[in-house]
Amino acid sequence: MRRALAAAVVLVLLGTGLVAAQSSAPTPRTYLLGALNLLRTHSMDRDRVDWPRVEAEALRAAEGASTFSETYPAIQTVISELGNQHTKLLSPAQAKAPLATTIAVPSSRVENGVAMLTIPGLIADPAGERRYIEAGAAALRAVEAQATCGWIVDLRDDTGGTMWPMLTVLAPLLGDGVAGSFAGPGLAPQFWTVRDGRSWSGERPGTEEVNPVRLSRPAPPVAVLTSRVTASSGEATLIAFRGLARAATFGGPTAGYATGNDVFDLADGAKLLVTSVADVDRTGRVYGPVPIAPDFPTQDPETAAGEWLRTRGACA
pTM for the predicted model, two decimal places: 0.91
198's CB contacts (< 8 A; 6+ apart) are 167, 168, 171, 205, 206, 207, 209, 210, 211
User: Would the pLDDT of 239 be above 90?
Assistant: yes
167-216 pLDDT, tens digit each: 999 999 999 999 999 999 988 999 999 999 999 999 999 999 999 999 99
Percent of the chain past pLDDT 70, that is, above it, reads: 92
> Does position 8 have pLDDT exceeding 90, yes or no?
no
What CATH number belongs to 103-310? 3.90.226.10
Which pLDDT band holds residue 2 (cuts at 50, 70, 90)?
low
Confidence bin at 314 (pLDDT 50/70/90): confident
Per-residue pLDDT at 5 exceeds 50: no
Q: What is the pLDDT of residue 25?
A: 79
Tens digit of pLDDT for each residue in 18-72? 333 344 679 999 999 999 999 999 999 999 999 999 999 999 999 999 999 999 9
Residue 149 CB contacts under 8 Å (≥ 6 apart), including other chains: 112, 113, 114, 306, 309, 310, 312, 314, 315
pLDDT, tens digit, 9 for 90 and up, residues 112-137 = 999 999 999 999 999 999 999 999 99
pLDDT value, residue 21 = 37
Predicted local confidence at residue 14, as pLDDT: 32
Q: Mean pLDDT throughout 160-164?
A: 96
pLDDT level of residue 1 (50, 70, 90 thresholds): low
Residue 241 has pLDDT above 50, yes or no: yes
pLDDT at 6 over 50: no
Cα 237 to Cα 155, 167, 168, 199, 230, distances in angstroms: 8, 7, 10, 11, 10
**Cβ proximity of 3 and 183 under 8 Å:** no
Q: Which of 3-12, 226-235, 279-288 has the lowest mean pLDDT?
A: 3-12
